[in-house]
Structure 1
Amino acid sequence: MTVRVLVVEDEELSAQAHAAYVRRTAGFELAGVARSSVEAVRVLRSVPVDLVLLDMHLPDGHGLALLQGMRAEGFLCDVIAVTAARDVEVVKRAVSQGVVLYLLKPFTYAGFRTKLDQYADYRARLTAAESDVGQQDVDEMLGVLRTTPQRTTVPKGMSVDTLREVTVALRDGVGRSASELAAAIGTSRVTARRYLEYLAAEDVVERSVRYGGSGRPEVEYRWTGA
């Protein structure tokens, strides 16, 4: 069964990236994109939605306030928080209000896909369950959401911390060459290029050719992802 997803994200580039990621993931389809709480409620009232990908920082209120309003209005769709909010109180409140998974920005498509696959596994088990379930059935269904997936999100030999530095440096949307990025994060050009090529393969960085000066053209990398 296809999962219909509503992306709630105020930042335009991130909203576009999340929508593209949903379309790219088997078993999921995009129900809509909302840039505010008001838009999100409008979509929920107009089309069926199974899963909401919810940012916490919205222009017309906090994501948790939107979630509370959704529940009060009877929208029982599942919610995955997709946000840069790292405050432990926000995490606690999100869990208490029924957020099933929490995905921190920045991330690549691989990290995004892992969360959706985790949710799809949970949903498949829930759908396949009998009308009456035992304790083991419940434990297994909830365990899918609570267990850390074993999939590696970066290739062997690459560091998650360095990947985070690279993505943070690129998120201002300014195009950079491998040499410029290397200088910005304090690593070698070869290392910077390896991470840039990895992000390009994940479709969160766009390559282009930069001309200018008397030297050979350089490859420029610009962030387009989440």
Structure 2
Amino acid sequence: MIKVLIIEDDPMVAEINKIYTEKNKNFEVYKICNNGADALTLLSKTKIDLIILDVFMPKMNGIEFLKKIREKGILLDVIIVTSSHDADKLDTVLKFGAIDYLIKPFKYERFNSALENFLNKHTLLNKNKEINQCDIDKLTKFKGKTLPVNLPKGFHKITLSRISTFMKNNNYYFTSEEVATKLNLSKVTTRKYLNYMEEINLISSNIKYGTIGRPTTEYLWNR
């Protein structure tokens, strides 16, 4: 069982993260801390396998916490869960070893995908004394970035290639409507392909809430 520490100052978000985490039977939440300072004290006494970390918190924010544990030589895997769209913050946490970055609000499927990616790495590295190149490729940049050979019924390789190339070459969030317009495709077709690309971990989605109207779903290529 993977022991998880959630660091989140919003009680409602923390509870959602806990429910989502324990919905996957391989994980259990050991504790929820509402700031980085308390979490740092806990880590000095308790063995944790994975941290789910917010960025904006009192006493010690997520970035300060991440820097501090690295200074102390604590090499735990960390998944960032935050409302921040700031590219500088993303760049910083990735350089300090965060293994994933989820922007609130997010779908359960995306959250669970982050857990499963961690679990695959954890299992591989803890069950094998030696690994081969194929194993390494699964854990690094080659994972999930190649188009599948066999597509579901009704999907076409050329269309999938066009959409995936566009998303890969544009490091920005796009709605399905925006992608459809830029590639001169139907909105229904584009949405179908984007949903499939998210299922196979080529892209990630983020729900954006505006002041007027329904929330929109945006998609970003997984780097």
Partner-residue secondary structure (3-state), 2:140: helix
Cα displacement string for residues 76-98 of structure 1 (whole angstroms, at most 9, x for unaligned residues): 21001111111111111111100
Q: Which residue of 1 aligns with 2:15?
A: 16
Q: Contact conserved, 2:3 with 2:50, CA < 8 A, in 1?
A: yes
Distance change in 2, residues 1:14/1:66 (3 Å):
same
The answer as to whether partners of 1:53 and 1:82 remain within 8 angstroms in 2 is: yes
- The alpha-carbon deviation at position 151 of structure 1 amounts to 2.0
| Cross-structure match for 1:208 | none
Please name the residue that 1:74 is paired with: 73
Partner of 1:56: 55
Note the 1:206-217 alignment, pairs <5 A. none
Q: C-alpha separation between the residues in 1 aligned to 2:134 and 2:61?
A: 36
User: Could you list the per-position Cα deviations for residues 140-193 of structure 1 after superposition, in whole angstroms to 9, with x for gaps in the alignment?
Assistant: 22247665974289xxxxxx77x543xx77xxxxxxxxxxxxxx5269xxxxxx
Aligned equivalents of 2:38, 2:134: Cα separation in 1:
40
Deviations 1:7-49 (A, max 9, x none): 0011111111111222221100112111011111122122210
Q: Which consecutive residues of structure 2, in runs of 5 or more, have no partner in the other structure? A: 147-196, 216-223
- Alpha-carbon distance between aligned partners in 1 of 2:143 and 2:122, rounded to the nearest angstrom: 10
User: For the structure 1 residues 144 and 23, does the alpha-carbon distance in structure 2 shift closer, same or farther, using more than 3 Å as the test?
Assistant: farther
- Higher relative CO (Cα under 8 Å, sequence separation at least 6) belongs to 1
| Cα separation, partners in 2 of 1:139 and 1:152, compared to 1, 3 Å | closer
- Structure 2 CA distance for aligned equivalents of residues 136 and 186 of structure 1: 43
The match for 2:31 is: 32
Give the aligned residue type for 1:140.
K
State whether structure 2 residue 206 is matched by structure 1 residue 185: no
Count of residue pairs brought into register by the alignment = 163
How far residue 119 of structure 1 moved from its aligned partner, in angstroms, is 1.6
Tell whether 2:96 aligns with 1:94: no
Paired with 1:28 and 1:164, the residues of 2 have a C-alpha distance of: 28
What is the DSSP-based 3-state SS (H/G/I as helix, E as strand, rest coil) of the residue aligned with 2:124?
helix
Between 1:121-130 and 1:75-84, the stretch displaced more is 121-130
Instruction: Give SS of 1:68's match.
Output: helix
Verify the 8 A CA contact 1:4 1:49 in the aligned structure 2.
yes
Q: Is the 8 A contact 1:122 1:142 kept in 2?
A: no
Bigger Rg, structure 1 or 2: 1
Cα pair distance change 1:141/1:186, threshold 3 Å = closer
Gap regions ≥5 residues in structure 1:
154-159, 170-183, 188-226
Percent identity for Structure 1 against Structure 2: 25
The one-letter code of the counterpart of 1:185 is: G
CA contact (8 A) 1:122 1:145 kept: no
Alpha-carbon distance between aligned partners in 1 of 2:81 and 2:143, rounded to the nearest angstrom: 15
What is the match of residue 141 of structure 1? 139
Report the RMSD for the aligned CA atoms in angstroms.
2.9
Q: Secondary structure at the match of 1:93?
A: helix
Change in Cα spacing, 1:75 to 1:186, as seen in structure 2 (3 Å) is: closer
Q: Is the CA contact 1:57–1:63 (under 8 Å) kept in the aligned structure 2?
A: yes
Normalising by structure 2, report the TM-score.
0.64
TM-score (norm 1): 0.63
Q: Which amino acid aligns with 2:213?
A: I
Aligned counterparts of 2:24 and 2:110: Cα–Cα separation in 1: 12
Task: Report the Cα distance in structure 1 between the residues aligned to 2:213 and 2:56, rounded to whole angstroms.
Answer: 27
